[in-house]
Amino acid sequence: MASILSAKNVTKQFGGLTAVNNLSVEIPEQSISSIIGPNGAGKTTFFNCITGFYTPEMGEIVFNGNRIDGLRSDQVTRLGISRTYQNIRLFSNLTAIENIMVGFEPHLKTNWFDAVVRTPRYHKDEQAAHEEAIKFLRFVGLAGLGDQVARNLPYGAQRRLEIARALASRPGLLLLDEPTAGMNPNETLEMMHFIRNLRDSLGITILLIEHDMRLVMGISEQVTVLDFGEKIAEGLPKEIQTNPRVIEAYLGRGAATEGMATAHEMTSKKKAS
């Protein structure tokens, strides 16, 4: 399968700290891929490098044939990458609908003159944005909550709304940063189905950062493991589960020699830390 995103030798440093070190990743088109690793492994930093929040010091990131490292985040979004955040970052005083409408921004063309005079273009754009917003609101199962101010929504709804907002820009690649953080096992399972359905019905590529191993192992077609900014393993979930370096990174050297770490133990260790 062709890869939609390819990162080559990406390095990002903060002062003396190397958050991402010489990282190369290929994300196959229409796949669900995961990046896992202990806290501070550089996963979110890597996301930030892809989405233009950070500019990597070295290496290059190519998306759909366009080089995107060094671009501003709005330019990256317009090329077709959108994301959610580890700690939900909705526009908390806007309604759910308005949040999604902001997501539709890359497809709008009205300027201030259109807005003041209310030209046909204004009406066309507003209607399109509104329809799109309603569509995605339903898609993520928030129908009826559209006029609620985002900060008043329950936690799970906020997570879904953030995904709806990201989807509104019609991305080719969707980055999800810990989509199940703070969810109980049932909600996590639901989210897992939701993510799979997202890919199947919209035909987009999904890259996610996740701590919940059950989710990762359940839906990923490719897993990349980071530790201290470096890639220590990559492959199918099954391969990752038995990879000694991964077990070592999560559980320490002793556990690795035993080689008996299960996905469940990894999760519990993660939660304890």
Say whether residue 71 binds another protein (CB under 8 A): no
Pick the binder of another protein from 29, 60, 126, 265 (CB under 8 A): 126
What DSSP line would sit under 168-215, residue for residue?
HT--SEEEEESTTTT--HHHHHHHHHHHHHHHHHH--EEEEE-S-HHH
Say whether residue 93 binds another protein (CB under 8 A): yes
d(Cα 126, Cα 141) in Å, to the nearest integer? 22
Pick the binder of another protein from 97, 161, 204, 246 (CB under 8 A): 97
If the CB atoms of residues 143 and 260 are measured against another protein, the closer one turns out to be 143
If the CB atoms of residues 93 and 268 are measured against another protein, the closer one turns out to be 93
Segment 24 to 63, residues that bind another protein, using CB under 8 A? 51-53
From start to end of 93-151, where are the E strands? none
Minimum distance from residue 184 beta carbon to another protein (Å): 20
10 Å CB burial of residue 1 (0-12, 13-18, 19+) is exposed
Say whether residue 123 binds another protein (CB under 8 A): no
Pick the binder of another protein from 42, 146, 179, 237 (CB under 8 A): 146
Say whether residue 229 binds another protein (CB under 8 A): no
| Whole-Å CA distances, 189 to 4, 14, 204, 207, 213 | 27, 36, 20, 17, 12
If the CB atoms of residues 146 and 172 are measured against another protein, the closer one turns out to be 146
d(Cα 143, Cα 47) in Å, to the nearest integer? 30
User: Judged by CB under 8 A, how many residues of this single chain contact another protein?
Assistant: 51
Say whether residue 72 binds another protein (CB under 8 A): yes
d(Cα 29, Cα 149) in Å, to the nearest integer? 35
Pick the binder of another protein from 28, 141, 235, 244 (CB under 8 A): 141
d(Cα 108, Cα 110) in Å, to the nearest integer? 6
If the CB atoms of residues 70 and 235 are measured against another protein, the closer one turns out to be 70
- Of the candidate spans 25-33, 36-44, 111-119, 241-249, the one that interacts with another protein by CB under 8 A turns out to be 111-119
Say whether residue 189 binds another protein (CB under 8 A): no
| Whole-Å CA distances, 89 to 26, 38, 243 | 27, 23, 35
Query: Do the beta carbons of residue 56 and residue 39 sit within 8 Å?
Result: no
d(Cα 51, Cα 45) in Å, to the nearest integer? 10
Residues 6+ apart with CB under 8 A from 111: none
Q: Is 152 left (phi over 0), alpha (psi -120 to 50) or beta?
A: alpha
Say whether residue 137 binds another protein (CB under 8 A): yes
Pick the binder of another protein from 1, 17, 143, 260 (CB under 8 A): 143
If the CB atoms of residues 55 and 242 are measured against another protein, the closer one turns out to be 55
If the CB atoms of residues 26 and 125 are measured against another protein, the closer one turns out to be 125
Residues that bind another protein (CB under 8 A): 51-53, 72-74, 76-78, 82-83, 85, 89-95, 97-98, 101-103, 105-106, 108, 110-112, 114-116, 118, 122, 125-126, 129-130, 133-134, 137-138, 141, 143-144, 146-147, 149, 165, 169
